[in-house]
Chain A
């Protein structure tokens, strides 16, 4: 069996849609039963779906590059799918951040603020609508019978006749053109990427080192308070990073450093989730020693984040030269 990136995308793409349906149902059940515990679990599920949506979006761009120039595929349909996918993916990121924030608040105040859950409910419903649209348009790429008529090679030629892609706003093409043609955007995004990195690593360095016993007199909840700044740093880097990716996807999709960077980001995201919600670190008062498990988790966190810096720096050098 020859499993390529197209197959990976075709399998993985079900996670955000099916996942959102499951998570939204859980949230509604939690509301109906007034079950606070279930609400928290659901927010955790939203967070993990958001983390997974990043590599799934990337796999879509990789698949796009892999099937480019095939006469039996409509480039216009692919483009429409990509444009909705980009917005759905961005909104999923917002849902993930809002869910994380709710869990962070719940950890600090031992109750989940209503407005955060309401925001997650609203945003995730909107995201589901966009994801469903993305899925439908994605399905039409290989199932033209869904549109009621067969797609032929001559249709492909016709559909692609206007060689200039439609402008519009918030389309992948328009965004890529903006990043490439506006002289300062790429440079400014790089600078933002470095600043976000310092914020993210600075906070997580302090938090993880505390667990490892370095600044032991600091109670863990005091460091926990800084975590939103780490998430802010991550958000800055996700946004600036996606500008690079959308502008030049072929620099990344076949790049082993990028693959490892994404894999590390996913596991590091789960690690931050652990720091946010679990008891074993939260209970650490001034001078308290952490047990073995949190120490292993903290050491892995440091390894992962510096690993992400490593893969990021190696992007233009390992495997592929820009």
Chain B
């Protein structure tokens, strides 16, 4: 695949860069909102923070796109990697919590769970480079 091999020198670094920036947008916005729900800085009007959500969606768009590209490049290694499933399940859970929090009054338990699942997603994502066959994938 053109991403895995370096005949296009900048493809892999650029995809990685977009994936990292997307990560900061998704998890960054979620952290701020969840921390507010947990009671850090209650003077912040919660509904106003919703104006940050478009950034989160932009991040999610960037990461689904680049994530799919990375997946196509090494699909067989990904599907046999337990860390990949940890990452995907954590993201699904975190997104489900996000929608649950928007529907009714956000609870502290959901906010804490949201932080927990996003951190698990990061841990899973990093572990993908070290667990299973994909260990050879990352040049890092």
Which residues of A are at the interface with B, using a C-beta cutoff of 8 A?
187, 190-191, 194-195, 197-199, 201-203, 205-206, 209, 214-219, 221-223, 225-226, 229, 286, 306, 309-310, 312-314, 316-318, 321-322
Contact = CB atoms under 8 A, between A and B. Distances in A.
Contacts of B24: 197-198, 201-202, 205, 306, 309
A314 B23 contact: no
Given A221-B43, A226-B40, A229-B35, A306 B52 contact: no
B116 to A, nearest CB: 12
Interface string B20-46: 110111011111100100001101110
Contacts of B127: 187, 191
Contacts of B55: 205
A317 B13 contact: yes
Nearest to A191: B126
A198 B140 contact: no
Interface of A is mostly: helix
B28 A201 contact: yes
A199 B31 contact: yes
Nearest to B25: A205
Contacts of B43: 218-219, 221-222, 225
A194 B121 CA distance: 11
Given A187-B126, A197-B24, A209-B52, A202 B44 contact: no
B16 A313 contact: yes
A316 B17 contact: no
A216 B41 CA distance: 16
Contacts of A203: 28, 31-32
B64 interface: no
A217 B41 contact: no
A226 B49 CA distance: 14
Given A217-B48, A286-B45, 4 more contacts: A191-B126, A198-B24, A316-B139, A322-B140
Contacts of A205: 24-25, 28-29, 32, 52, 55
Contacts of A215: 48-49, 51-52
A135 to B, nearest CB: 36
A275 to B, nearest CB: 15
B130 interface: yes
Nearest to B9: A317
A306 B55 CA distance: 14
A202 B48 contact: no
A225 B41 contact: yes
Contacts of A218: 43-45, 48-49
Contacts of A226: 32, 35, 40-41
A314 B17 contact: yes
A304 to B, nearest CB: 13
A222 B20 CA distance: 28
Nearest to B130: A187
A86 to B, nearest CB: 24
B122 interface: yes
18 contacts: A197-B23, A198-B118, A202-B30, A202-B31, A203-B32, A205-B52, A206-B29, A206-B49, A206-B52, A215-B51, A217-B48, A222-B43, A223-B41, A225-B41, A226-B40, A306-B24, A310-B17, A313-B16
Contact of A198 (B16, B27, B52, B123): B27
Contacts of A314: 13, 17
B8 to A, nearest CB: 12
A191 B120 CA distance: 10
Contact of A191 (B13, B25, B31, B122): B122
Contacts of B31: 198-199, 202-203
B119 interface: yes
B126 A190 contact: yes
Contacts of B27: 198, 202
A202 B130 CA distance: 27
Contacts of B13: 313-314, 317-318
Nearest to B34: A202
Contacts of B29: 202, 205-206
